[in-house]
Amino acid sequence: MKNKVKALRTAAGLTQQQLADLVHVSSRTIISIEKEQYNPSLMLAYRLALVLGVSMEELCCLEENKALEDQQYEDL
Amino acid sequence: MKIYNKKGLVIGLLWTAAGAFCLYRDAADAHAFLPQQIKSVVLSLIMLAIGLTCLVRAFSRRAAREDRIEELDERSCLVRLKTSSLTLRVTGYIRLAAMVLGLLAYAFTENLVFGCLFLFAGLEITLEAVVSAAAAVHYEKRV
């Protein structure tokens, strides 16, 4: 799932380890989220949104991802 | 000294005891073949190092917190779950192959070893199916 974690983290001047410490996960989780290999849980996404000062919709590109998912369902 | 990670302490004690025992055994009952002796000593030292690391980490507040975060980390949980699932699936295929090969080999050779291979692989597959059904019922009610 597409997200803006890397862009927002860089803009906030945080390292991956610092962000990981702030949201109580390992730095590998942050790396995986940034690479869009792992989708965070609802609570982790909320924590990330709070730390990065954006809404969950913006952080997780929910509208864009929903459109992509709708397209996949239509293709079924 | 305060213990911050009891589980880590127990694991550390077990690894240290196992490593120390293996090292003692290496010293008391040395292999005649030198490469084997070296391999055995290196393995014992690795076990000892793992044990001592776990012991030291159990007494460190920061390390214990890191270990706890790693344990609770949602991605790590998912990785553990997927690893268990894949392991079970792969070993399931291996058991199935062993059962079929055991059956075929027994049919052609009438060797009891192959008969036992077929029997035990079949029993394991049956047991796995029963446990899987019970686990599915358990989680269907709770998740």
CATH number assigned to the domain comprising residue A17: 1.10.260.40
Please tell me the predicted confidence (pLDDT) of residue B1.
76
User: Which of 10-29 (A) contact B at CB < 8 A?
Assistant: 24-26, 28-29
pLDDT in tens, B102-114: 999 999 998 999 9
Closest approach of A33 to chain B, Cα-based (Å): 9
Q: Is residue A59 within 8 Å of A3, Cβ to Cβ?
A: yes
Chain A partners of B76 at a C-beta cutoff of 8 Å? 26, 28-29
pLDDT in tens, B17-66: 999 998 888 888 776 677 888 888 899 999 999 999 998 888 888 888 88
SS3 category, B30:
coil
Please tell me the predicted confidence (pLDDT) of residue A3.
94
CB atoms within 10 A of CB A57: 12
By C-alpha distance, the chain B residue nearest A41 is B74
Confidence at A66, pLDDT banded by 50, 70, 90 = very high
Q: What is the ipTM of this complex?
A: 0.85
Closest approach of A24 to chain B, Cα-based (Å): 7
Please tell me the predicted confidence (pLDDT) of residue B132.
94
Alpha helices for chain B (secondary structure H): 6-28, 34-58, 61-72, 74-109, 112-142
pLDDT in tens, A13-53: 999 999 999 999 999 999 999 999 999 999 999 999 999 99
Please tell me the predicted confidence (pLDDT) of residue B6.
87
pTM for the complete prediction? 0.76
Parent domain of A54: 5-74
Please tell me the predicted confidence (pLDDT) of residue A6.
96
Tell me how far CA of residue B86 lies from CA of B79, B96, B124, in angstroms. 10, 15, 17
Residue from B67, B68, B75, B78 to probe the interface with A (highest A Cβ count within 10 Å): B75
- Rounded to whole angstroms, the Cα distance separating B64 from B70 reads 10
pLDDT in tens, A5-24: 999 999 999 999 999 999 99
Binary contact (B76, A41; C-beta < 8 A): no
Closest approach of A71 to chain B, Cα-based (Å): 27
Query: What's the rounded mean pLDDT across residues B60-75?
Result: 88
Number of domains in chain A: 1
Please tell me the predicted confidence (pLDDT) of residue B7.
87
Q: Can you give the residue ranges of every domain in chain B?
A: 6-72, 74-142
**Sequence-separated contacts (24+) of A62-67 with Cβ below 8 Å:** A64/A2, A65/A1, A65/A2
User: What is the identity of the amino acid at B66?
Assistant: E
Closest approach of B12 to chain A, Cα-based (Å): 22
A:B CB pairs within 8 Å: 24
Please tell me the predicted confidence (pLDDT) of residue B63.
87
